[in-house]
Copies of this chain bind each other. A is one copy, B any other.
Amino acid sequence: MDRFEPNLRIPGPTGLPPSVREAGARQMINHRGPEFAAMLGRVLAGMQPFFGTTGDIAIVTTAGTGGLEAAVVNTLSPRDRVLGVSIGAFGDRFAKIARAYGADVTKLDVEWGQAADPAVLRAELERDNGYRAVLLTHNETSTGVMNPIPELAAVIREVAPDALILVDSVSGLGAVPFEMDAWGVDVVVTGSQKAWMSAPGLAMIAASPRAWTAMETATMPRVYLDLRAHRESHAAGQTPWTPALAVLYQVDEGIRLMQADGAAAVFARHAACAAAARAGLTALDFRLFADQRFASKTVTAAYVPDDLDWKAFNGEVKRRGLVLAGGQGKLTGKIFRLGHLGSVTVEEILGAMSVLEFVSIEAGRPVTPGAAVAAAQVAALESFGVVTPATAGAGAS
């Protein structure tokens, strides 16, 4: 493993591009000085288009889970009624956080592998529209499902217009279009180690004017995660507490790379990698876990076949430099996950497929040499709008 760089295909932390790695090695600077202020301003401005907001974003030194906690504790009060829409482990975690701080949480549990259904959400809100907030997961990293946030938010805005919409987009934002302001989302959270191509350590949290107002009266306790303290400090070019400076160097560079490509190209690359991953894994005779109508653009989950010794198989995969993620929570041992977010390239997905093919054939699985790579390649090309022999043939038949 030391002789080559592994193909890190977990859904975060993601592999870092060379220039982002180099940024992580920069010397420290005064975090109360003008150089820092310039960088912070650049990062905040660079993020706004990806959030789809013209409003304020807070950068907090914390993992994504701390970002979710910040969304809850800044906007809510104990005994507030909260609807926690959960489609997996991270939806459960979001609800658990609200409960830990005394919110009166009703869970709307969706079968894992499915997305939340706007009609079901509508029915729940028509039954009871007294919720102070609705918790939504944009991209559920544990199942590889992406919720239809615009549709879900539209239902909430219509039926329960006073409810705050708090969205976990830790592993979504930056990789797919997000229009916070247009969709009427109140708080959205993302993390440096996902689409932003950086090391973990920073959560970025945007809030709507309504959410900033809610913070004035919300009484859940917070000091470290106080978003208003962050907003006030950011306005002065600082952070209220010493920030994860080296990670901010990396995010600054990651955004520069994303801007150089352009958002449309970043989103297209993620879509192509996702299509390639799904087609390749299917050709490898792995059954995909998620309802494919809601397949995530950033992580794909597949069942571990009943007759496969996963530990041995994955050991061999890892020995060949491909690092996959296992299942979380109740899916531990039942699925595996392949991440395709951040700096991911189609070539890395094809490389992953070639390793999985090689090890599958070695293990006697029913796999045709080259088939998975070919399927992934065609899917990626088609995702990019290239007419392939396969498409042309299909068109002629």
Chain A interface (Cβ < 8 Å from any Cβ of B)? 5-6, 8, 10, 12-16, 21-22, 24-33, 61-66, 69, 96-97, 100-102, 191, 193, 199-201, 220-225, 240-247, 250, 323, 325-326
Contact = CB atoms under 8 A, between A and B. Distances in A.
Given A15-B28, A62-B224, 8 more contacts: A6-B29, A22-B25, A30-B325, A61-B61, A61-B62, A61-B63, A199-B244, A200-B243
Given A241-B64, A247-B244, A100 B13 contact: no
A311 B191 CA distance: 38
Contacts of A61: 61-63, 66, 200-201, 244
B243 A246 contact: no
A344 to B, nearest CB: 12
A146 to B, nearest CB: 20
A16 B27 contact: yes
Most buried by B among A10, A241, A323: A241
A191 B242 contact: yes
A16 B6 CA distance: 27
14 contacts: A8-B30, A13-B245, A15-B28, A21-B25, A21-B27, A61-B61, A61-B62, A63-B243, A65-B223, A65-B240, A199-B244, A199-B246, A221-B221, A224-B225
A21 B26 contact: yes
A75 to B, nearest CB: 15
Contacts of A26: 21, 24
The 8 closest A-B pairs by CB, nearest first: A201-B244, A25-B25, A199-B246, A63-B241, A13-B28, A66-B224, A24-B24, A65-B241
Contacts of A69: 223-224
A61 B200 CA distance: 9
Q: Give how many copies assemble into the complex.
A: 2
A49 to B, nearest CB: 25
A8 B242 CA distance: 15
Contacts of A223: 65, 69, 96-97, 100
A97 B240 CA distance: 14
Given A69-B223, A102-B221, A224-B65, A242 B12 contact: yes
Nearest to A26: B21
A286 B301 CA distance: 64
A69 B220 CA distance: 14
A40 to B, nearest CB: 14
B201 A246 contact: yes
A261 B346 CA distance: 47
A225 B73 CA distance: 13
A274 to B, nearest CB: 20
B222 A100 contact: yes
A323 to B, nearest CB: 5
B221 A101 contact: yes
A63 B32 CA distance: 15
B62 A62 contact: yes
A225 to B, nearest CB: 8
Contacts of A66: 61-62, 66, 224-225, 241
Most buried by B among A5, A13, A14: A13
A32 B96 CA distance: 22
Contact of A245 (B28, B62, B200, B240): B200
A14 B28 contact: yes
A64 B31 CA distance: 14
A250 B200 CA distance: 14
Contacts of A325: 30, 32
Contacts of A25: 21-22, 24-25
